[in-house]
Structure formats: structure tokens, C-alpha cells
């Protein structure tokens, strides 16, 4: 956050620490999902001699990997997105003038980099 907005005040630091703890608790669910995805990929590779079944499994893994999410993981990921969004909204609304200037400068640099990438593709 320091890169994006500069030095955090005490309240901002406390709020960020709370968010990190909350998100860290959801990490285990995410890792469980990724582990199941890798296991499913291994199973698809085992049956690759059966072309139809292989293509079916690989297609499912690449086009709808979220199908491997449990209800708890879906709920945790939705809650995580909501918490990050609420945190960022509160943070942006509470920025000091210098923090807002820092954020706008960083965003301008990203916009410029994206424009340069687009121009280099022409």
C-alpha cells in the first residue's frame, strides 16, 4: 500500500492488518481448490489414451474450473471479494490529500504504460 498511497496512518495500518488476517484465513480454502484442480488435471492426463474423455476433462478444467469449488469456497471467495472492496472503498474515501496525489500519480503511470504497450503492438 505504501507504493500506491504513501505512508499509512495508524488507522489505515490497523484496517489493512485486519483485512490481511481475514484474507489469510480464506487462503486455506483457496489452496484446497487449487489442489483439487491439480488432482483433476492429473486424472485427465492419466486417461489421455481415451481421447474423448481426455478432451472432456481438459475442456472442463480450462473453461469452467470454478466447477471444482465447494459451496464453502464459493462463499469464502465472495466474502473475500466483498471485504476487499469495502476496505478499498473506505481507504480511498479516507485518503489524505498527499495520499490521493500519490495514488493518482501511480494510476497515471499505469495508464501511460498501458498506452505504450498498445502503441508498441501497432
What is the number of structural domains in the chain? 1
Query: Which residue in this structure is represented by grid cell 480450462?
Result: 62
Give the residue with greater pLDDT, 69 vs 103: 103
Q: Is the pLDDT of residue 39 over 90?
A: yes
Residue 116's pLDDT is what? 94
Residue 58's pLDDT is what? 92
Q: List strand residue ranges (DSSP E) for 25-122, in order.
A: none
Residue 81's pLDDT is what? 86
Q: Which domain holds residue 46?
A: 8-95
Any domain includes 24:
yes
Any domain includes 18:
yes
Mean pLDDT (whole number) for 39-67: 89
Residue ranges of the alpha helices (H) in 47-70? 51-63
**Cβ-contact 88, 103 below 8 angstroms:** no
Q: Give the up-direction half-sphere exposure of residue 8: CA atoms within 13 A in the CB hemisphere.
A: 14
Amino acid at each position: 500500500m505504501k507504493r500506491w498511497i504513501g505512508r499509512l496512518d495508524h488507522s489505515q495500518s490497523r484496517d489493512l492488518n485486519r483485512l490481511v488476517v481475514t484474507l489469510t484465513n480464506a487462503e486455506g480454502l483457496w489452496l484446497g481448490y487449487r489442489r483439487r484442480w491439480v488432482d483433476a488435471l492429473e486424472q485427465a492426463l492419466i486417461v489421455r489414451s481415451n481421447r474423448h474423455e481426455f478432451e472432456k476433462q481438459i475442456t472442463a478444467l480450462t473453461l469452467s474450473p470454478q466447477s471444482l469449488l465447494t459451496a464453502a469456497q464459493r462463499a469464502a471467495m465472495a466474502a473475500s471479494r466483498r471485504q476487499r472492496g469495502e476496505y478499498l472503498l473506505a481507504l480511498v474515501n479516507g485518503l489524505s490529500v498527499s495520499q490521493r496525489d500519490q495514488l493518482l500519480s501511480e494510476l497515471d503511470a499505469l495508464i501511460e504504460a498501458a498506452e505504450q504497450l498498445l502503441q508498441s503492438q501497432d
